Structure 1
Amino acid sequence: MQRISATSDLNGLRIHYLDTLQESDASLVPVFVCPGLSETAEEYEDFIAEMLPRRVIVLSFRGRGRSDTPLSGYDLQDHVADIESVVQQLQLTKFHLYGYSRGVSYALAYARRHPHRIASIIVQDYPAEHKAMTAEWPRSYIDEYLIPTNRLSTNIRAEAVHGIQKDSTACEITFSFEKPVLVMRGLLEDSLISDEELLPYRLHFSNLRIENFTKSGHNIRGSEKEKLDRTIKDFLAGVGEGDNVMKLS
């Protein structure tokens, strides 16, 4: 497969991304993926393959994967700038925006700033907010999750974990949006969207579809991958392509 692996330049900060431009059908509106907190672009290879011939772009946010790791600059607007740098480099003018876990907050904040570029929004198991992290979070996250799962350094650097805790400020990310929105959530105990946390989506997104995954908690892809991929593909097919005026780099 002719996968493009490249970096955008954000004032000297390199943001790595994967792009299936050379394999895709230019008549289909592409999907831009914002991974979860410690995920990298490479972890979406199976999703990329599943979506073909639709073009998919997946970035690794700062401090993750093959992107650079600054010592500071890990708040919401900094991650939105990562998205903006890749979108600008690829000259994308219209795309579906898909976020998972903490990537949802980055995706929603980008969509709030650039609604004209967004054909639809796909939310996977995260509320419409940006969360601050406690002072104890970095050590527990590193010791209890990243090290045991061999995700430290290769997926996310310790500097990024500490930067997220230090720089992140809590805020709701709400805005009126009339284009299609898909919210997917698990119903098991470790899901991150409660019934109460669905309310902002219901209130602000007038064209909303909610899909529940009864066998999943937060990690829907790990427990119901086939249904997840099918739900996304069916949703995109239902949105339609309209006038796909994206520029191809």
Structure 2
Amino acid sequence: MDGNITRKTVNNHGIEIEYYVSNEVNDKSTLIISMGIWEPASRALPLIARLLGRHCIALSYRGRGGSSTPKTGFDWSNHISDIATVIENEPINKPVFLGFSKGVSYMLGYLAANLELANGIIIIDYPAIHSKLEKGAAKFWANMIYNGVKLDNYITTYALEGIENESTYKEFYDDLRMMKCPVWIFRGTDSNADIPSNLMRDDILKYKESVKELEIVDFNYSGHMILDEELGKAAKHITDILNKIDHI
């Protein structure tokens, strides 16, 4: 592991939450990364490695990676306690929040309770909702193979079952209306991608109605998995965004 990246854990009421920190807090803005439904913090490391000198924090939500799996507590409100615990355990400066896929809903749930905290929000290919998983979704995700790896290597089957059984539907567009920071949306536009974009036309319209300062960045060679399919372009845009926030 890169010498500037440190693995840590913090206890969230008996649940050990794993997270990675790159570099120390400095006068630049901190990037806080919230990954997708099955993704541990380690999935963010290729991106973090490209953000040289940047203070970054990425966590593994409960049941993912090196985090422990509780018996219950898998709705969006439970997950936001994980990100809250990590942030409370680390110094941050002018935080910018990046959410990918279902990690968007966890991130927005946290920010809905901390409306003034974010200096910028980066949303990667996901609507501002927390969805209720359909019956059988846990089995689907556990057996899915992505880039040659079965997903239950990243997230426990028990956690997936908890998400399926406990998830509730929640929209965050009204919360976004109350957030005053700029928002960037990364959208995959490759209709032939193996995993297509999760953003529909109506989702974009809702974002446009809810966010005063909004920029949409299209990734023409990506579907949903932008951080894998166009990591270089994503890292460049994220770097530009962070540099802009640094000087606000």
Check whether TM > 0.5. Answer: yes
Query: Which residue in the other structure is 2:164 paired with?
Result: 165
Instruction: Report how far residue 150 of structure 1 moved.
Output: 2.5
From 6, 9, 32, the counterpart of 1:7: 9
Q: Distance in 1 between the 2:52 and 2:79 partners?
A: 27
Instruction: Report how far residue 147 of structure 1 moved.
Output: 11
Q: Deviation per CA, 1:129-157, whole angstroms, max 9, x where unpaired?
A: 000111121122222347962331x3100
Q: Where do 1:41-190 residues align within 5 Å? A: 41-92=41-92, 94-145=94-145, 149-152=149-152, 154-174=153-173, 175=175, 176=177, 177-189=179-191, 190=196
Specify the code of the residue in structure 2 equivalent to 1:92: I
Question: Does the Cα contact within 8 Å between 1:21 and 1:55 map onto a contact in 2?
Answer: yes
Question: Does the Cα contact within 8 Å between 2:142 and 2:150 map onto a contact in 1?
Answer: no
Q: Distance in 2 between the 1:100 and 1:69 partners?
A: 21
Query: Which residue in the other structure is 1:246 paired with?
Result: none
Instruction: Report how far residue 178 of structure 1 moved.
Output: 2.1
| Alignment RMSD | 1.7
Query: Which residue in the other structure is 1:239 paired with?
Result: 245
Instruction: Report how far residue 234 of structure 1 moved.
Output: 1.2
Query: Which residue in the other structure is 1:194 paired with?
Result: 200
Structure-2 change in CA distance of 1:51 and 1:146 (3 Å): closer
Structure-2 change in CA distance of 1:130 and 1:31 (3 Å): same
Structure-2 change in CA distance of 1:168 and 1:146 (3 Å): farther
Question: Does the Cα contact within 8 Å between 2:141 and 2:151 map onto a contact in 1?
Answer: no
Q: Deviation per CA, 1:11-62, whole angstroms, max 9, x where unpaired?
A: 111111001134x6x0101100001111111122221111121100000000
Q: What is the TM-score normalised by the length of structure 2?
A: 0.91
Structure-2 change in CA distance of 1:202 and 1:151 (3 Å): same
Question: Helix, strand or coil: the match of 1:139?
Answer: helix
Q: Distance in 2 between the 1:147 and 1:235 partners?
A: 29
| Number of equivalenced pairs | 239
Query: Which residue in the other structure is 2:234 paired with?
Result: 228
Q: Which runs of 5+ in 2 are unaligned?
A: none
Q: Distance in 2 between the 1:173 and 1:155 partners?
A: 27
Q: Distance in 2 between the 1:33 and 1:61 partners?
A: 11
Structure-2 change in CA distance of 1:147 and 1:72 (3 Å): farther
Question: Does the Cα contact within 8 Å between 2:133 and 2:163 map onto a contact in 1?
Answer: yes
Question: Does the Cα contact within 8 Å between 1:29 and 1:241 map onto a contact in 2?
Answer: no
Structure-2 change in CA distance of 1:136 and 1:206 (3 Å): same
Instruction: Report how far residue 215 of structure 1 moved.
Output: 1.3
